[in-house]
Structure 1
């Protein structure tokens, strides 16, 4: 990694924005590169020719009903608490802030619940679905970071998987956070995919997610994947005696405490670091 570029993160106003948002990168350590397609980039990468596939128009009501049923049957109601639904006015205000029209599925998700507030008892394998207010704050923090880099999305080198499907940038104002792992890592919606991807695809991005990956082609496909994992029994809800874990709600296979890591393995994607 280019140490000069990484050191940009420790000076000026960016330090405050990163610290507030929980986005400050870890100091560079020995990093692994597990696949050929993800290589460090010293210059702005060349975007492939062509257009991304259009966003899907989805009705995710049946998927939300499946999740409701599973959560009610398995999660302790005193710990796993969703917020009440968001209003159309709140969703409209969020759209105005980010300058994007959210797909029908996004409105359905937030009219179901306006996320949740506890970052240790989240419904996505321990990760909380962000309330709109927090999603807006995280998005704003990332746009400030981009501004401090003079708009250079590639000031810190990155990779992408599948190659040509997602922008290998450090940050992109068209990435909308859905979750936050507490360390500036997100599952989110991508409204600026590269031609091999789809508008509205679900990706992993964030502070230490050097290699951005596509988890699903759409919000509906992502939530259906999560519902399928849960219904198949791929979960743990308790910690073994003496086991020190941050979140008790975890994947069973692969046996990892970090859902981002587990998701990469399940999808056959490369490691997060270059």
Structure 2
């Protein structure tokens, strides 16, 4: 079963009520108006011994969950931030996290909540995986860790990138791929599981032997469907508006491109 929002969107592109049925998918589209937009990008390379993944923002949750699922340690030491637009302390309490994980409200005009770990903090692997699964509709978990045997190394930047940049280089795929990285030991099981999460819709195109692939996503938003409740605040109207359009995916496998397009409502 797919965990990442893009594979969820591909498997169920037209839910009756995406806001309620797939909040972890819907949250990624609330900032878009009509038009063409760049989505996330991810790259995978492999040698006989190692799998290397580089990813932009909005793929870091996939890397985190995959790293935790395949980490043999009962506990991991993490650094970084957890950022949300709402106070996620009740969620942490429900998942039995210590109070030291509770977020601090920002003082600026933009309201957000952040839990920051400048030095490494130990947490149960299963508990963090629970948060990384159930918390995706509400928070961005920007945490890094290395397994005890150093076979798994996850690095995620502590702050999400700005939505837009005046510097074109900041928007290039090469620059975006610096946001998160994951190193894993190469095995058929790990590689197959990773490819299913990242590119399940391209499994027939991926050959048995390859060295590197890169997957880029773009959105064509063609219609905005406003909520029926007109009494909502302007902020809630934006958050409850549905986006209709086309998800375009291009995967290059050792330089050879393949495309897939999916009409969606999110």
The interval holding the TM-score normalised by the smaller chain is under 0.3
**Bigger fraction of residues in helix:** 1
* TM-score, length of structure 2 as denominator length: 0.24
* TM-score, length of structure 1 as denominator length: 0.24
